[in-house]
Amino acid sequence: MFMLDPLVAMFVATVVVIVLFFPLSADPLRLAPVSRLALWPLSGGERRLLRVITPWLNPVTWLIAAFALWRRVSAGMAALASGMFAVGFLAPWRRTASRGGILRLAPPFPGATGSLIRKDLRGLATTLDFYCALLPALAAIGYRAAGLLPRDAFLPGTCLVLLGISTPSQTLFGLDGRSGLTRYRLLPLAGWLVLLAKDAAFLLVAVMLTAALAPAAGLAGALTALALGRKTAIQENRSQLRWRLQAGASFGPALVQIVGMLGAASFEHAKGPLVLILCLAVWGASLWWGGRQLDASALD
């Protein structure tokens, strides 16, 4: 991409850097539980001094300082970088997540799996993969509203969004913790219904993020990503951390998923709804297989 269109490559790199910059700018004291901080035998003045010192425990602080002192950097750019660091440092990532915060705005859904869908929607919103996809999606909305986005950019933009959120389809149970599968086995639900709830949350996010681009192609790509990531999601079940990029399968399966996902999106965009029907069939077969795997593991 850098060889063919350096400006597009720089835009993608900037998106990734911005998404990674905020968690790297977090306050180191937030790693310690609040209850333990309250037990520290420190006076009020000592606690204020600690607040002044702790930013310098973060390597990003030293990078920002070096960037600001670099003579080739204008005062405006240095102020912008410092302001972004301040936002990342002061933003209540952990506390917002613990209380729910804006995540409470996730709408309720009817049916036996409605609460599971809502839970997984909130889980996706606590992954950095979601925000990697959200930034180009918001840019597409802005450009379309201004009438500056050509139709030739719909498919590449959709593929970029799908690349951002593809890994969570391989880690459907990752945020549930090690005991997540055990809890799901205790629910009076068939295995395919549990997977359907997780897939519904992922598909809803994919369609919403590609709504300003090519939503049908986005749906085809998301269905294919779920189908190709099904085995990894069930059999490997790697534990994941919130507010981090998700760690999916090894390079081989990940490459197969990426090629299949982008190929399905491209074919749907070029050939129409028949490709989407085929993607639905493949996804349905993977849902049936995955449900059987979950039911079989519950009987072991």
CA distance 205 to 199: 10
Q: Is the pLDDT of residue 196 over 90?
A: yes
Backbone phi and psi for residue 185, each to the nearest 5 degrees, phi listed first:
-65, -25
- Please give the pLDDT value at position 16: 65
The pLDDT of residue 286 is 95
Average pLDDT score over residue span 19-48: 73
pLDDT at 299: 57
**Local confidence band at 266 (pLDDT 50, 70, 90 cut-offs):** very high
The residue-averaged pLDDT of 268-287 equals 94
What integer is the mean pLDDT of 91-101?
48
- What average pLDDT does range 191-219 have in this prediction? 94
Higher model confidence: residue 83 or residue 258?
258
Q: Note the pLDDT of residue 98.
A: 45
Write the DSSP assignment of the chain as a string of letters. -TTT-HHHHHHHHHHHHHHHHHHHTS-GGGGS-HHHHHHS---HHHHHHHHHHGGGGSHHHHHHHHHHH-TTS-HHHHHHHHHHHHHHHHS-HHHHHHH-GGGGGSPP--STTHHHHHHHHHHHTTSHHHHHHHHHHHHHHHHHHTT---GGGHHHHHHHHHHHHSGGGG-TTGGG-TTHHHHHHHSSS-HHHHHHHHHHHHHHHHHHHTTTS-HHHHHHHHHHHHHHTHHIIIII-----TTS----S-HHHHHHHHHHHHHHHHHHHHH-HHHHHHHHHHHHHHHHHHHHHHHHHHH-
Question: Looking at residues 54-74, what average pLDDT do you find?
Answer: 72
- For 129-178, how does the pLDDT look when each residue is reduced to its tens digit (9 = 90+)? 898 899 889 999 999 999 888 998 899 999 999 998 999 999 898 888 76
Concatenating the DSSP letter of every residue in 207-248 gives: HHHTTTS-HHHHHHHHHHHHHHTHHIIIII-----TTS----
